[in-house]
Amino acid sequence: MARTLKSVLKAQGRLRKLVPVAIIDIGSNSVRLVVYEGLSRSPTPLYNEKILCGLGSQIASTGRLDSDAVERALAALRRFRMLARQAGAEKIYTLATAAAREASNGPQFIERATDILDCDIHVLTGAEEAEYAAYGIQCGFLEPVGVVADMGGGSVELTKIDKDPTGQGVTLPLGGLRLQDESGDNVIEARKLVRQALKGNEVLKSARGGTFYAVGGTWRALGRLHMARCKYPLTVMHSYAIGSKEARKLCSRLTGKNGAAVRGIEAVSSNRRSLMPFGAVLLSEIMAMMKPERIVFSGLGVREGYLYSLLPSKVQKLDPLLTAAEEFAVLRARSPQHAKELVSWTDQAFRTFNVDETNDEKRYRIAACQLADITWRSHPDYRGDQSLNLISNADFVGVDHPGRAYLALASYYRHEGLVDDEAGPALITVASQRLRERARLLGALFRIAFQFSAAMPGVLPDIGFEADESGPVNLTVAPRQADFEGERLNRRMKGLSSVLKRDVTWAVSSDPDR
């Protein structure tokens, strides 16, 4: 009986091959603990907690860590040590950034923190901080190109990236707390400081017209505000992108006289609001120099970049989206093998229908197949909405927001039917017309596939599509599968016909080898 109970109580919703690992990030503004499920190409947080201590709030004026902030930070570290152990982390990596390395009492603080945590604390140099921030972008995006900028409380790190970091990054004393302190909480004076520090910056000049990857809580708050102002239907911050023109308008409003009362400010944590004008000043001056095509906000930064640097090169090169989608299938689908068969089956279908795909669209289709059955435990009446919400808000990286919409809509259409766009969810507006059409086609194929397979492997390889350029499409099955024909399946085939705008008919193969 004891053995059976132990087996029942063992978690099945976790990847067994991974061992939890913790990172404590001692920043100039916040001190944060994140316990990850393990070292992985697509890291998943098990537990996440932060305290806004403001260690670097007075460094510009006093050269020292604020004494009250030090005690708050040390108390947080005691708690974080206990939490990391409770979560099962076998290794705690602790990183400290600008405030700890620049303050005159920084070494004493690090010594006390080391005693509490009973592990080494890596006080990052500015160059290391820039490098790990760039690695964080590599971890979170597929083949990123542009400039990575990590704005913390004490400094900002700038690194040019072209799939890999190119050259050594630079660190500048332009963190939000530092600008607030050094300018006397005056945005006009802060702008002067920023312009002087950015003058002639080669990283920005060499990447004109590219993508600007914004890392750090202050800039994510700007993104959150923009989402609220435009009533954006998706709240995931990672990979949220806005054009430079929109970003300049937002920065202008935040640095104006009524910046604290700008519409939508309620969407931002009250603890972040006071630093937003200084983040806006820095962003507007960077845009004036770099003239980026767009601003892309990242949910990943130094912490994830540090873990990414520990991965073997072979693992680093894996596709993060496909890695995460496959893990979801292992954890939630009735049959991960069936998910793999869906990939091959839809690949053959798209070729038969002459549907062209970009590299990203193919990645999205593969991921959507892996995710097609992850809500099977929900009541059938709610699986569409459940899959839409779960997939669109999942902790995925390596996918932009239109791609998220594609993944979620394909599963939604599978469960809810091939609804017209006007009757569909608001998330439809995030995807392009091209992606919507492909999501509906994929959903129509899912609706047929599951009528044969019952979500189990072994049947789809016996089923295929045959068509010439102008005639009907034949859904061809092996003779031993002929009894699958029925009213429900025929209705699903009519749905596919409406999407393809071509008749889809049933045919039993004459090939004896099928």
pLDDT tens, position by position, 118-161: 999 999 999 999 999 999 999 999 999 999 999 998 899 999 99
The mean-pLDDT minimum among 8-22, 250-264, 381-395, 435-449 falls in: 8-22
Lookup: tokens for 167: 């050259």
Choosing among 3.30.420.150, 3.40.720.10, 1.10.357.10, 3.90.110.10, the CATH entry for 127-305 is 3.30.420.150
Overall fold of domain 330-508: Hypothetical protein af1432 (1.10.3210)
pLDDT of residue 268: 86
pLDDT of residue 12: 72
Any idea where the domains of the chain sit in the sequence? 16-123, 127-305, 330-508
Q: How confident is the model at residue 513 (pLDDT cuts 50, 70, 90)?
A: low
Tell me the per-residue pLDDT of 328-355, one tens digit each, with 9 for 90 and over: 999 999 999 999 999 999 999 999 999 9
Q: Give the residue from 135, 131, 107 showing the smallest Cα distance to 121.
A: 107
Tell me the per-residue pLDDT of 192-223, one tens digit each, with 9 for 90 and over: 999 999 999 999 998 899 999 999 999 999 99
Mean pLDDT of 378-388: 93
Q: In the predicted model, is pLDDT for residue 5 greater than 50?
A: no
- 23 vs 303: CA distance, rounded Å: 7
Tell me the per-residue pLDDT of 44-100, one tens digit each, with 9 for 90 and over: 999 999 999 989 888 888 999 999 999 999 999 999 999 999 999 989 999 999 899
pLDDT of residue 8: 43
Q: In the predicted model, is pLDDT for residue 402 greater than 90?
A: yes
pLDDT of residue 256: 83
Buried b (16+ CB within 10 A) or exposed e, 204-242: beebeebbbbbbbbbbbbbbbbbbbbeebebebebbbbb
Tell me the per-residue pLDDT of 288-317, one tens digit each, with 9 for 90 and over: 999 999 999 999 999 999 999 999 999 999
Lookup: tokens for 300: 């990943």
pLDDT of residue 272: 85
pLDDT above 90 covers a percentage of the chain that reads 80
pLDDT of residue 6: 45
Tell me the per-residue pLDDT of 230-250, one tens digit each, with 9 for 90 and over: 999 999 999 999 999 999 999
- 65 vs 131: CA distance, rounded Å: 25
pLDDT of residue 4: 42
pLDDT of residue 381: 92
pTM score, whole prediction: 0.91
Q: In the predicted model, is pLDDT for residue 7 greater than 60?
A: no
DSSP designation for 49: E
pLDDT of residue 260: 64
pLDDT of residue 164: 75
Overall fold of domain 16-123: Nucleotidyltransferase; domain 5 (3.30.420)
Given this chain, do its domains 16-123 and 127-305 carry the same CATH topology?
A: yes
Q: In the predicted model, is pLDDT for residue 2 greater than 60?
A: no
CA–CA distances in Å: residue 342 to residues 201, 460, 461:
50, 7, 9
For every residue of 226-277, DSSP letters joined together read: HHHHTT-S----TT-EEEHHHHHHHHHHHTSTTGGG-TTGGGS-HHHHTTHH
Q: In the predicted model, is pLDDT for residue 9 greater than 60?
A: no
Amino acid at position 431, single letter: A
Q: What is the mean pLDDT of the chain?
A: 91
